[in-house]
Structure 1
Amino acid sequence: MTVVPAPSQPARQGKGRSRSRLKILAAAKALFLQDGYDGVNLDRIATQAEVARQTVYNQFGSKEAVFRAVMEHHWSSLPLGDLLTRLEQSLGTDADPAGFLRQFSEILLTFIEDADQVAFTRLVIAESRRSPWVAEEFYRVGKEPLTKTLAGCLQRLHETGGIDCPAPELAAHQFLGLVQEFIIWPKVMAIGPDVMSIPPFDVVVEEGIAMFLSRYGVCDEARAARTV
């Protein structure tokens, strides 16, 4: 019979610390979204997470540190690695930039819906008036990596002849604008359907792709010439 050794005490402590950290982050995010930054303190976070206040303090040290960690954890649910994997699968002699952009948009929409992105963006906008570091951190840990990942994918598509895009970072911002103008900002600003007529998601994406590729797409002949 094979005897499986029990986890060491440091390993058990590490797992326990990780679980308590996730509980704290989930509790803190819920409270921040509900009551804003000023309406939350370490005591409330500890109570919501069902841990001791000292545990929160030991792991984070301050409410600002908790908020920064919440932002990082919030954005960590956006699977940027999936974008790179799907790009690799779509590259080759039959690179499909439209298919890739479609998959990218679906990943982005899933994140927006599943991660409370609308409510979190509203929170950041409200708090950044008093504390500019909030918006800076939100961009640093989220929007910047997202944009740079998309720009890197566009660069690869450019190099392999799928698109003609000499300025991929500019193009990444442009495509994000085409999509997010309809799928997030009307919700962030609480613009109702009686004021703004919003097309279905698939229409927004397909029209955005069509506009994007009208600028950066290449014809079959040009693609063949670039890959020779």
Structure 2
Amino acid sequence: MTEIGSISPVPAPQRSHLAKRLSVLEAAAIVFCRDGFASASIELIAAEAQVSRQTIYNHYGDKEKLFVAVVKDMTERANAGIYTTLASFPDNPTDIEAELVEFAVRLARNCMCNRDCIALRKLIHAEGERYPELFAPWRQYGPERAWAAIAARFAKLHHAGHLNVDDPDIAARQFQALINADLYVGVILGEKPSEADLRAAAAAAVKTFLKAYGPAAATN
């Protein structure tokens, strides 16, 4: 019996099912990126997420399904950054080179160099050849959607006379590859590019891109 004036202990708040699910996804991403798919275990992920093994099995079934869920979640988060950045694409440029450079800086900073995109690339490099089927969500919802969205905008610039693009899909892939060319190695090794690095990479990429696809390219 509690004495008058004493304070009963307050029970620790219980995490909701959604909170546990998100905690498991976050923990699984950490463990899979750190240890790889083969070495990761449900026990390690449960410890990282501070949940029971049974909680993970209840939400995801097994390690393969959890890995697929992690890839899908990371892809969706990465896509959110891409689509937010696409909203600032220069649809009606007055200076196509300067405005594409600014867009390329934003694309590199917000998308190519963000945590989820970097983690996904590391996972794909480490596990893609051995477990290609586990990356189905990334193949379905990842870069191809981003390329298609950028390609559609390049097509509009072509019709408006700002670019000379025969195949917008190829141009979109090359645009992203050019931006990434000077940043990729450092980012994969854990370096964070400075604003000057981002701007230099963007400027070089756009200069090369416009040599191939600028309006003057039609007469070359």
TM-score over 0.5 (shorter chain): yes
What does 1:97-112 align with in structure 2 at a 5 Å threshold? 98-112=98-112
Contact 1:77 1:115 (8 Å CA) reproduced: no
Question: What residue number does 1:81 align with?
Answer: 83
TM-score, normalised relative to structure 2:
0.75
Deviation at 1:62, TM superposition (A): 1.8
Letter in 2 for 1:64: E
1:216 aligns with 2:218: no
Contact 1:109 1:183 (8 Å CA) reproduced: no
Gaps of 5+ in 2: 1-14
Question: What residue number does 2:5 align with?
Answer: none
Change (3 A) 1:154 1:93: closer
What does 1:189-204 align with in structure 2 at a 5 Å threshold? 190=189, 200-204=197-201
What does 1:1-228 align with in structure 2 at a 5 Å threshold? 16-78=16-78, 79-87=81-89, 90-92=90-92, 94=94, 96=96, 98-115=98-115, 117-185=117-185, 187-188=187-188, 190=189, 200-218=197-215
Deviation at 1:209, TM superposition (A): 0.3
Question: What residue number does 1:195 align with?
Answer: none
SS in 2 for 1:130: coil
Letter in 2 for 1:42: I
Question: What residue number does 1:5 align with?
Answer: none
Change (3 A) 1:28 1:93: closer
Structure 1: distance between partners of 2:173 and 2:93: 27
Change (3 A) 1:98 1:18: farther
Letter in 2 for 1:202: R
Gaps of 5+ in 1: 1-14, 193-198, 223-228
TM-score, normalised relative to structure 1:
0.73
Question: What residue number does 2:7 align with?
Answer: none
Question: What residue number does 2:10 align with?
Answer: none
| Count of paired positions | 197
Contact 1:37 1:127 (8 Å CA) reproduced: yes
Deviation at 1:143, TM superposition (A): 1.8
Letter in 1 for 2:102: R
Change (3 A) 1:112 1:208: closer
